Amino acid sequence: MTSLKNDTFLRALLRQPVDYTPVWMMRQAGRYLPEYRETRARAGSFMQLCMNPELACEVTLQPLRRFPLDAAILFSDILTIPDAMGLGLSFAEGEGPRFERPLRDERSILKLAAPDPTDKLRYVLDAVSTIRRALDGTVPLIGFSGSPFTLACYMVEGRGSDDFRHLKAMLYSEPALLHRILEVNATAVTAYLNAQIEAGAQAVQIFDTWGGALTAAAFREFSLAYTERIIAGLKREHEGRRVPCIVFTKGGGQWLDAIAACGADAVGLDWTTELGAARRRIGDRVALQGNLDPNVLFGSPAAIRSEVARVLADFGPGDGHVFNLGHGISQHVDPDHAAILVDAVHSLSRRSA
């Protein structure tokens, strides 16, 4: 095992002192990079790209060749779990994900079972170990999963949605069925993240993209309770180091106290939450990750620098901040603008000796 040359990201997640604020970008490997589009075309489709460990490794490394990012994130998708459960995932060109067999009736929900990650999701674990080898200790590798609730949104709707009406009908009229899906998902995610850690992931992030669509009470009961269960079951140390866990709930800004108590080392914030206010509320308990509005990257270089400065100033002096976007980078962003962001974070945050 090679030791890490740059552990700034892992140290910041544990609120340890760092020389500058580390940065990575959600969706840093993706369609805004021409070399990504070229590799995806070579793979044939997005899912074939995810299922080919060599090509998944190649696209993971692409943003790191362009920008001095402080972490790599496994190239995969949150929907690999429901696919491995037999729901039949496809991504049509130019459209979002689709499931052939969404979960709408009791019979299919009672049949649902957590997949063995070392079998059906072997391709993800192979990608993790391939990427770790290729990174050769330059920066840490982040593994990830969707939250049980966010996965359930896609599993019940069968696709993305703006109102989640099938899911909400189930939540309000047949909550026991939704709880059953969430229980299976929590078991599946725990095993999946632990397998990624065993394969070499040095930190993990749980994406709760749709938790913010719930009421406060429903968020605690149907989302946070299952995230807590996962974290309680995670392997927290590997290769002699703590494996930090980040929870990102889009739209979760009103529930920060509850989220900060879920057992995670760090909480990811979207751009609607004030970082300084969040730090005063929960920053003595967890590290914070975020939270530049991803659309700032459509602004001028000068605007990007000043918005980066604003986020850094909002957090203020001291440790425990990982710079990120408040959500994934858009496919329409100019890669040169991402370069300006990364450079601005590093230069503006460097601690004077």
**70 belongs to the catalytic site:** no
Specify whether the CB–CB gap between 20 and 349 falls below 8 A: yes
- How many residues touch ligand CP3 under the rule CB under 6 A: the total is 21
Separation CA 146–CA 209 (nearest Å): 8
User: Catalytic: which of 7, 70, 77, 83?
Assistant: 77
Min. distance of Cβ 202 from ligand CP3 in angstroms?
A: 15
Tell me if 299 contacts ligand CP3 by CB under 6 A. Answer: no
Tell me if 130 contacts ligand CP3 by CB under 6 A. Answer: no
Tell me if 26 contacts ligand CP3 by CB under 6 A. Answer: yes
**257 belongs to the catalytic site:** no
Separation CA 53–CA 125 (nearest Å): 9
- Give me the DSSP letters along 284-347: TTSEEEEEE-GGGGGS-HHHHHHHHHHHHHHH-SSS-EEEEESSPPPTTS-HHHHHHHHHHHHH
Tell me if 84 contacts ligand CP3 by CB under 6 A. Answer: no
**Nearest of 8, 139, 120, 6 to residue 65 by alpha carbon:** 139
Q: Which of 77, 83, 157, 228 binds ligand CP3 (CB under 6 A)?
A: 77
The whole-angstrom distance between residue 54's C-alpha and the CA centroid of its chain comes to 21
User: Catalytic: which of 154, 229, 270, 279?
Assistant: 154
Give me the residue whose beta carbon is nearest to ligand CP3: 209
Tell me if 27 contacts ligand CP3 by CB under 6 A. Answer: yes
Min. distance of Cβ 328 from ligand CP3 in angstroms?
A: 4
User: Catalytic: which of 40, 241, 281, 285?
Assistant: 40
Please work out, in degrees rounded to the nearest 5, the angle formed at the alpha carbon of residue 339 by the alpha carbons of 337 and 341: 75
- Residues engaged in binding ligand CP3 (CB under 6 A): 26-31, 40, 46, 73, 75, 77-79, 91, 96-97, 144, 160, 207, 209, 328
